[in-house]
């Protein structure tokens, strides 16, 4: 390709970053296999995040649970909010990738464009493919 406009090249990189984080498939619930892979080999974070992780120390859970037991109200364990959170997390895992708020036609259109961008072929049986991604 002949020389191109540097601004357009920069814009293209910005587009890829936006796509990586904002397309709905980018943060869907992990499958068991994906979870195992992440657990076995979590990618490195920034030096600041790594330092924060290290700062937790080895007795972090002991301190956290002790604090939770001695304080009446502590974030993360309010019964009503927790019920909702747990149920929604399980529901989200069961739902997989489909956004129920979209019409079937819109969902197919988005899927088509996403496949086009990612260079993926149309699945023979979409439902099966949608729930068994590895």
Site membership for another protein, residue 100 (CB under 8 A):
no
Q: What is the smallest separation between the CB atom of 74 and another protein, expressed in angstroms?
A: 7
Q: Number of residues in contact with another protein, rule: CB under 8 A? A: 77
CB–CB of 6/108 below 8 Å? no
Indicate which single residue of 90, 122, 129, 132 sits in contact with another protein (rule: CB under 8 A): 90
Q: Least CB distance from residue 122 to another protein, whole Å?
A: 13
Measured CA to CA in angstroms, residue 25 lies from 22, 49, 78, 89, 111 at distances of 8, 25, 31, 17, 10
What contacts 60, CB < 8 A, 6 or more positions away? none
Q: Binding to another protein by residue 68, rule CB under 8 A?
A: yes
Three-class secondary structure assignment of 39-55: HHCCCCCCHHHHHHHHH
Binding of another protein at residue 129 (CB under 8 A)? no
Measured from the CB of residue 130, what is the shortest distance to another protein in angstroms? Answer: 14
């Amino acid at each position: 390709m002949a020389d191109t406009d540097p601004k357009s090249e920069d814009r293209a990189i910005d587009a890829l970053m936006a796509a990586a984080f904002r397309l709905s498939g980018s943060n869907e619930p992990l499958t068991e296999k994906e979870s195992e892979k992440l657990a076995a080999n979590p990618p490195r974070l920034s030096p600041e995040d790594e330092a924060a992780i290290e700062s937790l120390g080895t007795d972090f859970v002991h301190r956290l649970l002790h604090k939770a037991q001695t304080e009446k109200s502590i974030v993360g364990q309010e019964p009503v909010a927790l019920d909702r959170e747990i149920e929604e997390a399980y529901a989200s895992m069961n739902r997989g990738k489909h956004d129920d708020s979209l019409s079937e036609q819109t969902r197919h259109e988005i899927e088509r464009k996403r496949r086009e961008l990612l260079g993926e072929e149309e699945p023979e049986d979409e439902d099966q493919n949608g729930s068994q991604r590895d």
